[in-house]
């Protein structure tokens, strides 16, 4: 098991936050983005920075690895487009809320012929599974310091950790976690 952590920013912040591994070495960064300054102003004033949730995840060399764009429409299920840059290839898929009823949030998608899912119960860490096996979990502590933790439980998937962090952060930050 490998643990990663990063500082959680408030909804209004567009400052970059650094992602660290267990040895406190930088592995990448997360930053909230807006297409235009006008959109940022509208989101801040009208929606209290809760409507447009777009994120960029970069590696330690500052190369863009994951781009998450919130495409949710009002009164619809959450829908986020994820673009993942890996080994000179571009993968694109959607994180769409598939929750029907109940407390558990469910998100499923396919990536490189693998079936991935994210499940979250209230007050529990989010669970990221790949082909039915638990791969990672994600949680924000309730009290200070607000450092988000991601535990990678399947070390074979270490090469895709920025994708997992991006999906978990982008999806649950859009919910206001």
> Which sequence spans correspond to the domains of the chain?
2-173
The whole-number pLDDT of residue 161 equals 93
Q: What is the chain's mean pLDDT, rounded?
A: 84
Contact (Cβ atoms closer than 8 angstroms) between residue 150 and residue 165: yes
Helices (H), the chain: 37-47, 161-173
Q: How confident is the model at residue 144 (pLDDT cuts 50, 70, 90)?
A: low
- The closest of 49, 2, 76, 57 to 176, measured between CA atoms, is 49
The residue written with tokens 């330690």 in the block is 60
The whole-number pLDDT of residue 36 equals 84
Interval 76-130: pLDDT, tens: 667 889 999 998 999 999 888 777 666 777 888 888 888 999 988 888 888 999 9
Q: How confident is the model at residue 49 (pLDDT cuts 50, 70, 90)?
A: low
DSSP secondary structure string for all residues of 76-101: S--EEEEEEEETTEEEEEEEEE---S
Q: How far is CA 35 from the centre of its chain?
A: 18
Interval 155-166: pLDDT, tens: 889 999 999 999
DSSP class of 51: S
CATH tag, 2-173: 2.40.160
């Amino acid at each position: 098991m490998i643990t990663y952590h990063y500082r959680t920013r408030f909804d209004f912040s567009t400052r970059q936050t650094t992602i660290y591994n267990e040895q406190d070495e930088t592995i990448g960064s997360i930053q909230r983005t807006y297409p235009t300054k006008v959109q940022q102003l509208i989101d801040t004033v009208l929606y209290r920075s809760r409507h447009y949730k777009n994120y960029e995840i970069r590696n330690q060399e500052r190369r863009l690895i994951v781009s998450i764009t919130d495409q949710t429409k009002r009164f619809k299920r959450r829908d986020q487009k994820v673009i993942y840059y890996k080994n000179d290839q571009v993968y694109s898929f959607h994180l769409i809320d598939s929750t029907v009823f109940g407390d558990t949030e469910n998100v499923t998608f396919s990536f490189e012929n693998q079936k991935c899912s994210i499940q979250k119960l209230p007050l529990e860490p989010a669970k990221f599974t790949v082909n039915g096996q638990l791969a990672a979990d994600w949680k924000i502590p309730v009290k200070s310091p607000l450092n988000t933790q991601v535990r990678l439980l399947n070390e074979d998937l270490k090469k895709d950790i920025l994708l997992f962090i991006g999906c978990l952060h982008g999806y649950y930050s859009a919910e206001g976690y």
